[in-house]
Structure 1
Amino acid sequence: MKNLTTALLTATIAVGALAGCQTTPSTPSTPDQNMGAAQPVNSKILQAYDWQLVDAKRADGTKIAPLFYNPAKPLTLKFTTEVTNQSNEDRVSFMNTCNNLGAAYSIRNGSVELNNALSTMMSCPEPEAKFDSATMAIVQGKYSVSQQGQQAPVLTIQGKDTVAHFKAVKK
């Protein structure tokens, strides 16, 4: 139990440290103008696709390198509804991470709120550990979906001083 508590505390500190190392710009990054108008998200659109990370940058334009250490296994968000005997719970899983990461989510006023984040606590080598920490930091923010014509939708997560774009991938 002591090891689990230590591991949870270490993971929490790592996510906090990652967020704390970012600088606050005077103007946050904005999505590419060719993506079309951003629309509020809903569970139907989120669950219709898997969402594969294609770009993640800090507000100063620098790429968030830990998220791209293995191009063959990009961060992918998988939104689902888990049906139990008593209720339905909307969940998101973060795929291709070293640890199994996920959270419950809800949509309030067009915004995605992550709750009760869960993680296994395996001891991961350095690139994977940084990938996991960067994953938990980048999924916090304002979610929106945009689509240009018949192209696949793009999910954008605008953080305090980060922006990430995920392409829709058929399930």
Structure 2
Amino acid sequence: MKSTMKIMMASTLVMSALATGCQTTTSVTKPAVQPVTVETLEANNWRLIDAKLNNGDLIEALFFDPSRPLTLDFMTVEGRNMVSLMNTCNNMSAGYSVTNGEIELSAIRSTRMACPEHLAKFDSAAATTVQGKYSFGKNSDNNPVLVIKNDNQTAHFKAVPKTKTP
């Protein structure tokens, strides 16, 4: 009886570990679930969960500190659409417009602080990552995912609730 209980407990732990591993999957299982609009972009912040070059290599500069992932905050400020790149060393932002479901970013503006090399690489990789074709999909848990694809890479961002400031 004790050995049966041990086997059941071990099986439960293994299944739990497998389920946890599955929750972190970054694949997009359903493409284009909704059109790209200002409203869909501004509904959430978008936290980077995966970014790979076309050859499948992870863009390591974007993942040096898992506690501070690249996060995009789309907003309207004084009637202008803006996106802020969060967790970068320098303050980075750009204007954007949406026309027929296509995103166009203006030039990215950035402060010019001297950053340690790994942070400077993060900033550079972040600026490259947000340039491309935007689309929405859903992950295996049916949650929205923002996909940005350009000629060299594809990045996936999961929706995270915006924090309210008092």
Shared topology, TM-score over 0.5? Answer: yes
2:61 is paired with a residue of what secondary structure? helix
Does the CA-based 8 Å contact 2:70-2:86 persist in structure 1?
yes
From 26, 37, 41, the counterpart of 2:31:
37
Which of 48, 53, 56 is the matching residue for 1:58?
53
Residue of structure 2 in register with 1:156 after alignment: 147
Of the three residues 75, 81, 95, the one matched with 1:80 is 75
For the Cα contact (< 8 Å) 1:57–1:163, is it kept in 2?
Answer: yes
One-letter amino acid matched to 1:141 = G
After TM superposition, the score normalised by the length of structure 1 is 0.75
Deviation (angstroms), 1:109: 2.3
Structure 1 partner of 2:109? 118
Q: Is 1:127 the counterpart of 2:121 in the alignment?
A: no
So what's the TM-score if we normalise by structure 2? Answer: 0.77
Cα RMSD for the two superposed structures: 1.6
Corresponding letter in the other structure for 1:156:
V
Deviations 1:100-151 (A, max 9, x none): 0000000122111110321000000000000000000011100001136973
Q: Quick one: which of 152, 165, 171 aligns to 2:156? A: 165
For 2:55 and 2:108, locate their aligned partners in 1 and report how far apart those are by CA, in whole Å: 28
Unpaired segments ≥5 residues, structure 2: 1-25
**CA separation of 1:162 and 1:149: change in aligned 2, threshold 3 A:** closer
- The answer to whether the 8 Å contact 1:40/1:111 transfers is no
* 1:116 alignment partner, SS class: coil
**Identical residues among aligned pairs (%):** 49
Structure 1 unaligned regions, length at least 5 = 1-30
Matches of 1:62 and 1:139, distance apart in 2? 18
Asked whether 1:47 is paired with 2:42, we answer yes
| Counterpart-to-counterpart distance in 2, 1:150 and 1:163 | 20
